[in-house]
Amino acid sequence: MKNILLTTVLALAALGQSEAQQFKVITSVESIVPSGMGRSRIIDAREDKNYEEFTSEQTEDDNTRNKSKRGEIRVKNFEETKLLNFYNIAGIRFQNIAANDAVISSKLTDMAAEGWELVFVTSAVEADAGQNDGQGIFITRYVFRRD
């Protein structure tokens, strides 16, 4: 009887651990365009895509291409949360940065409440960086995991 009970418990534990984890990426894009002309947002896709539908394998012998169209990759169902731009007409606005931090913190808190665990954050800046650089974004990707 003990063996049957132990076997049942171990089998149930193994089933519970065999479930795949889910991952979700949330992206914040903050404008670093002078004079407040840019757009800043948090983007949260509300539909899933299967990467395999858009993946092709290329080898030396076979040049098989995936025939999917770029439009099929696009996500039309997403949540867009407004953020403030880093700059306004007078220059950098630290108040805007603090406001963005508060909004992003609120989003991260909601994700945690929904059972998502923040596992990785990566940021980058893209700018022309030429002599008269007038464009750029600060992008941050938040990677979440849920069992």
pLDDT tens per residue across span 45-92: 999 988 888 888 877 776 666 666 777 888 889 999 999 988 887 888
- Residue 126 placed within a domain: yes
| 72 vs 27, more confident | 27
- Residue among 87, 86, 121 nearest 100 (CA): 86
- Residue 12 placed within a domain: no
| 107 vs 127, more confident | 107
- Domain of residue 83 covers 21-146
- Residue 2 placed within a domain: no
Question: What one-letter code names the amino acid at 96?
Answer: N
- Residue 94 placed within a domain: yes
pLDDT at 28: 96
DSSP-derived letter for residue 101 is H
- Residue 8 placed within a domain: no
Degrees to nearest 5, angle at CA 84 with 80 and 86: 130
Question: Quick one: what percent of the chain has pLDDT higher than 70?
Answer: 77
Q: Is 141 within 8 Å of 104 (Cβ atoms)?
A: no
Q: Is 107 within 8 Å of 118 (Cβ atoms)?
A: no
Indicate the number of domains in the chain: 1
- Residue 13 placed within a domain: no
pLDDT at 89: 79
Give the global pTM: 0.76
